[in-house]
Structure 1
Amino acid sequence: MADSFDLGEPPQPAKAEAYRVLARKYRPQTFSELIGQDAMVQTLGNAIKRDRLAHAFLMTGVRGVGKTSTARLIAKALNCVGPDGQGGPTIDPCGQCEPCRAIAEGRHIDVIEMDAASHTGVDDVREIIEASRYAAVAARFKIYIVDEVHMLSKNAFNALLKTLEEPPAHVKFLFATTEVNKVPITVLSRCQRFDLRRITAEKLAAHFAAVCEKEGVVAEPEALALIARAAEGSARDGLSILDQAIAHAGLEGQGVAADAVRQMLGLSDRGAVRDLFALLLAGDSAAALASLRRQYNYGVDPQAVLRALLETVHGITLAKVGAGEDPAQALEERAARTDWATRLSFPVLHRLWQLMLKGHDEVAHAVLPIEAAEMALLRVIHASQLPDPGDLARRLADGTAPAGPAPTLPAAPPTPGPVAQAPALPPTFAALVALLGDRTHLLLAERLKNCASVVRYAPPELVLSNARPIPGGMMDELAPALRDTTGAKWTVTLENAPGALTLVEAAKAAETAERDAVLATPLVRAALEAFPDAVLEGWTPPQRNTA
């Protein structure tokens, strides 16, 4: 009979490790991995070195900036014993000793985490008070981490006050909250408070790039910048979006593209926003509405379009005052904003901001969002004909306001007095446009600069070329605006004849001519011949008075 052999259990395939989302996988394990909270880390480090540790800490800030992670790091820092078991509290916990590992895994018996949202009553706090009397079992300090502490009831807060003010020497309280205004002042006064800052988009984008490198994922810098902006200062939100973007990319090695992220988030394309903003400045109502509808049909929220326009106006204003450039911004976006900053005045930008901000709020509460957005854009386009109340009051006072309708009752005979002479009309078309912009017709002046090609200028007659596209409604606004501004009745017509360059084109042509003249000077020409790769930099054309 053949011998039988017991070969045991057949080999089992290894179980695949459950996937952990990026927000959990890359949760900070040391203070050096905590992004954007350098001031808090420095304060804690100095307190540990000098043995000036508070008995209660309160971390506050928006979601996802690291409040709970910071609480766990503090717990590790206070209880770390080092690889040799002989260490003391340190701002750089080793992560290797048993307390560090147990706290990181959430299984340390002396580090108790409680969610105040589900433990709001006095009984829950009473358990903490009773347990805090006993010394720590295996750690240097017994630590209570209470997340979303503002959710505790008023009675629960009152029950905690005495223990919080005079806790046993072996107990530390670590509180975290997103709504610090709901925490009673009696509790705040007993805690050392740390306000965790929103993480900047630049730091978030750099962090996401490092995560992608560790995950073996290729991602476009613009895509990471979009995710960082959408995260609004929250590392957790950003990592969740990045997780979704990687899944959205599909096949391995396909990479995370900016267009795919923009489509996934429903963001308005920056190029489309620039085109829409240019159409608004040009006063082209039909094209502007078509551009808005096109984005709406792509799935972009109308409120997001208004928000993008607000960001554009804000960015132009910052560029005009000389604020620093956003390194995460595309070169095309930066160039466009710089160009608009040189052409748009502060009054125009302020009025655009107010009109779009009002439109954004209307769209947010509208029953018909896309229709409300269209009406908001039309209001922006036609705002140039609205009189400014302050300027109108001044003109009424000095007698230069436009004539109103005849009174229904007979007026008293005027008192004889000196006859006011009619004001002189602007000698040039450029001076006329400048006068419009200085008064109340700011957007109309911008349209004239960009679109008006003059055939004949003989005040009070103005003939424009019909060969150039004229924004809809501009001709209807122009004559009343000129009369309102100069006090004279103007004749404004179109003629099918070539006209002069627009004011914007003329300014650019003059700048080009001046630059060419500089390049043609013997000294510069000799320098360029000696150094063929040299370019002319740092040259600024002289300021010209277009009036």
Structure 2
Amino acid sequence: MDDTTAGTPPNDEPALPGFPAAPASAVPASPYRVLARKYRPRTFDDLIGQEAMVRTLSNAFETGRIPQAWMLTGVRGVGKTTTARILARGLNYQKADGSGQPTIHMPELGVHCQAIMESRHVDVLEMDAASHTGIDDVRQIIDGIRYSPVSARYKVYIIDEVHMLSEKAFNAFLKTLEEPPPHAKFIFATTEIRKVPVTILSRCQRFDLRRIEADKLVAHLGRICNAEGVQADQEALAAIARAAEGSARDSLSLMDQAIAHGAGIVTPDTVRDMLGLADRTQVIDLFEAVMRGDVPAAFAGLRSQYDAGADPAVILSDLAAFSHVVTRLKLIPEAARDPALSEIERTRGTDYAQKLSVRTLSRAWQILLKGIPEVQSSNRPIAAAEMVIVRLAYAADLPTPDEALRALKDGAPVPAGGSSAPAPRPSGPATSGNMALATSQPYPQPRPQAAQPEPTMRLRRFEDVVALAGEKREIVLKAQLERDVRLVRFEEGRIELSLTETGSRTIANDLTRALQQWTGERWMVALSSEEGQATLHEKAVEAERERKEGAANHPLVQAVLTKFPGAQIVNVVERAEKPGEDAETEILGEADALAAHEAEDDDDLF
């Protein structure tokens, strides 16, 4: 990267027409180095956010328990390669007078330190496994490992992105990695630890480098800005730290870009313009309008940020992030001391945390979480974002299911949004009086309850439920209730059932929905582990069997069976119109008539 000013050529070239020649002092003595390289850690004391690993290595070096191989894993930019070089430097640390031993405490440069940190030491070999994936590359390492180091204490092999090696290359490493020569050490680095075979992992001492916390990144960026003489706002540094997502290298790359974008002055506006982020103040105003149910104000806020260049998906992501901040402030008030939060996030977030319920915040989070992918995949992102805002605004004062059921059961009006679509609220300034979250009532604008269907009939027995299913022409449900259900307990509004082996476990939900639709009342249908009664089908079969047995023992039926040898009782019909002797006379008369009719049929055959 050239530090010459725009339009000014270097001194060793003639000036272009129309541009003056640059003075000698304008040309730097050496090329510019980006911040990520210029401020790369050189000792373990310079590493930030990796205290656990440093403590383990320190104890291992002091006690002489140094393994033959290390595996460093973590996301990009947390310091895997840098840690590997510092580790190689500590293994080969030697002062100018020849004294020294493996250590992590290196107050001054040793004999080999500078060459190792610049990746040019003959005994510290760095290999990028992404471009050297084959078994031949590993064979070169295996062949060279037999020879002693040229000048250092150990031969150190640093293999970056080791997960890119082929299966054969990994297998070739196994024996050497398990029993290497005493003068050889291996340091592996990878971002995809799951792709590394367990046979390799079991031969290494593994360190998981953590994402760097936002407050530590902000402090680190602040120190670098002071060293560079750059004016940087704390809110701008916090925005860069959030965008870096725990990566030190990403944060320094963004800082380089922000310094160039702002001509040496880093402000929140500079970072927002550079990254296409939404203004945090406008995001919080949008959050307030949404929670107030003020759709026109929410649309205006969304459109103004969109016109300023913010991505609709990023706006919703920032809205979700602020919802998370408010939720944390509500549940953990000590989170207000987080240095990564700006002052406006801290003050207004604390205010909303006192007014909003966890239920409302959780609902907003779920809606945003599902809405962001819709916006990202839509060919009209701003329209999709507006529809997500509509869902948020109209769901801000919806009741929970238990509150809606309680209101329906008590006959009270359903809270806002519970029965029909709420009308848009008038736009206006955000005051505690017109915010749904700020009023003493949980739902500030109750609306009339929708008319509920009148119950078709009083269901006092389980048989009444089955009969109602038949009346509603729910043939499948009726058959399931008759054949697959055993009644355990029945009372109005509540049914407990157990299932046969062929019963479907969804029948409880199906029956609940059907009863609410048929009767307009909420029924609780639950599956029980108790055995329960016989199914209605089993009861009907048993009753039919008992009727047939009773009929077969009746003297009148026996008389009929005597006149018709081989006859069977197919069905038993109760005749209550002619009791007593009249019924007996009728039955015998019908039997005699039938016998005479069959005799006539026999005569016709001859």
Give the deviation of 1:441 after TM superposition.
8.5
Q: Is 2:105 aligned against 1:139?
A: no
The code of the aligned residue for 2:350 comes to T
- Amino acid in structure 1 at the alignment position of 2:395: A
The amino acid across from 1:202 in the alignment is D
1:310 is matched with 320
> What one-letter code is carried by the residue in structure 2 that aligns with 1:223?
A
Contact 1:381 / 1:443 at 8 angstroms: preserved in 2?
no
Residue type of the partner of 1:365? S
Q: Which amino acid aligns with 1:280?
A: V
Name the residue aligned to 1:436: 415
SS state of the match for residue 95, structure 2? Answer: coil
- CA shift, 1:218, in A, is 1.5
Equivalent residue runs for 1:494-505 within 5 Å = none
8 A contact 2:294–2:424 mirrored in 1: no
Q: How does 1:315-394 map to 2 (within 5 A)?
A: 315-323=325-333, 324-325=335-336, 326-383=338-395, 394=405
Secondary structure at 1:35 match in 2 = coil
1:483 equivalent among 449, 474, 495: 449
Q: Tell me the CA shift for residue 440 of structure 1.
A: 5.1
1:195 lines up with 2:205 in the alignment: no
Structure possessing the higher relative contact order (Cα contacts under 8 Å, 6 or more residues apart): 1
Secondary structure, in 3 states, of the residue corresponding to 2:231?
coil
Name the SS for the 1:400 alignment partner.
Answer: helix
Q: Does 1:50 align with 2:63?
A: yes
- 2:295–2:424 contact (8 Å) kept in structure 1: no
> 1:336: how far off?
1.0
Distance apart, 1:368 and its partner CA: 2.0
Counterpart of 2:186? 173
Separation of aligned partners in 1, 2:52 and 2:420: 46
Residue deviations 1:493-517 (CA, integer Å, cap 9, x gap):
xxxxxxxxxxxxxxxxxxxxxxxxx
Change (3 A) 1:486 1:330: farther
Q: Deviations over 1:233-258 (max 9, x none)?
A: 111111111111111122x5xx2112
**Distance across 2 between alignment mates of 1:441 and 1:354:** 21
Cα shift readout 1:31-74 (whole Å, capped 9, x = no counterpart): 00001101101100100010000100011011111000000000
Corresponding residue for 1:156? Answer: 169
Cα displacement string for residues 289-342 of structure 1 (whole angstroms, at most 9, x for unaligned residues): 121111111111111111111111111111111242222322222111111111
Between the aligned partners of 1:238 and 1:469, the Cα distance in structure 2 is 38
Match of 1:76 among 81, 84, 89: 89
Q: Specify which of 122, 134, 140 is matched with residue 109 of structure 1.
A: 122
Question: 1: distance between equivalents of 2:451 and 2:116?
Answer: 74
**Structure 1 290/307 Cα, relative in aligned 2: closer, same or farther at 3 Å?**
same
1:223–1:261 Cα contact (<8 Å) kept: yes
Structure-2 residue corresponding to 1:261 = 271
Letter in 1 for 2:36: A
Structure 2 CA distance for partners of 1:485 and 1:343, relative to 1, 3 Å: farther
Cα separation, 2, equivalents of 1:145 and 1:270: 43
Please state if 1:182 is matched with 2:192.
Answer: no
TM superposition shift of 1:446: 13
Match of 1:400 in 2: 408
Residue type matched to 2:268 in 1?
A: A
* Contact 1:387/1:441, CA 8 A, preserved across alignment: no
In the alignment, is the contact (CA less than 8 A) between 2:399 and 2:415 conserved in 1?
Answer: no
1:145-179 deviations in Å (ceiling 9; x for gaps): 00011111111111111111111111100000111
Give, as a single letter, the amino acid of the residue that structure 1 aligns with 2:390. Answer: L
The answer on whether the counterparts of 2:95 and 2:111 sit within 8 Å (CA) in structure 1 is no
Structure 1 residue 96: Cα displacement: 2.1
Is residue 247 of structure 1 aligned with residue 226 of structure 2? no
Call closer, same or farther: CA 1:135–1:126 in 2, change over 3 Å: same
CA distance in structure 2 between the partners assigned to 1:68 and 1:265 by the alignment: 27
User: 2-side partners of 1:227 and 1:452: how far apart?
Assistant: 30
Aligned pairs for 1:36-47 (under 5 A) are 36-47=49-60
* Alpha-carbon separation, structure 2, partners of 1:442 and 1:204: 49
**Offset from partner CA, 1:362-401 (integer Å, 9 cap, x none):** 1122222221111111111222586755666x56xxx936
Q: Give the counterpart of 2:74 among 61, 79, 82.
A: 61
Decide whether aligned partners of structure 1 residues 58 and 375 sit closer, same or farther in structure 2, where only a CA change above 3 A counts: same
SS at match of 2:206: strand
Normalising by structure 2, we get a TM-score of 0.64
Cα 1:380–1:441, aligned 2, differ >3 Å: closer, same or farther? Answer: farther
Match of residue 88 from structure 1: 101
Residue 221 of structure 2: aligned partner:
208
TM-score, scaled to structure 1: 0.71
Q: Structure 1's 80 and 469: CA in aligned 2 closer, same or farther, altered over 3 A?
A: closer
Partner letter of residue 30 of structure 1? T
> Letter of the aligned partner of 2:257 in structure 1?
Q
Contact 1:114 1:147 (8 Å CA) reproduced: yes
Residue number in structure 2 paired with 1:540: none
Whether the aligned pair in 1 keeps the contact of 2:72 and 2:80 (CA below 8 Å) is yes
2:188 aligns to what SS in structure 1?
Answer: strand
CA contact (8 A) 1:94 1:100 kept: no
Give 3-state SS (helix, strand or coil) of 1:160's partner.
helix
Partner SS state of residue 91, structure 1: coil
Query: 5+ residue gaps in structure 1?
Result: 1-11, 402-421, 426-431, 454-464, 471-476, 488-547
Separation of aligned partners in 2, 1:84 and 1:19: 35
| Counterpart residue identity of residue 249, structure 2 | R
Deviation at residue 93 of structure 1 after TM alignment: 2.5
Aligned partner of residue 483 in structure 1, secondary structure: coil
CA drift at 1:198: 0.4
Equivalenced residue count is 419
- Judging changes above 3 Å, is the alpha-carbon distance between structure 1 residues 271 and 385 closer, same or farther for their aligned structure 2 residues? closer
1:128 alignment counterpart: 141
- 2:283 is matched with 273
Question: For 2:173, what is the secondary structure of its paired residue?
Answer: helix
Classify 1:295/1:108 alpha carbon distance in 2 versus 1 (closer, same or farther; 3 Å).
Answer: same
For 1:167 and 1:469, locate their aligned partners in 2 and report how far apart those are by CA, in whole Å. Answer: 70
Deviations along 1:83-128, one digit per CA (max 9) or x if unpaired, are: 4221111111344222112101211100000000000001011111
The separation in 2 between residues aligned to 1:469 and 1:272, in whole angstroms, is 18
The whole-number CA distance in structure 1 between the counterparts of 2:420 and 2:361 is: 10
Distance 1:479 1:282, change over 3 A: closer
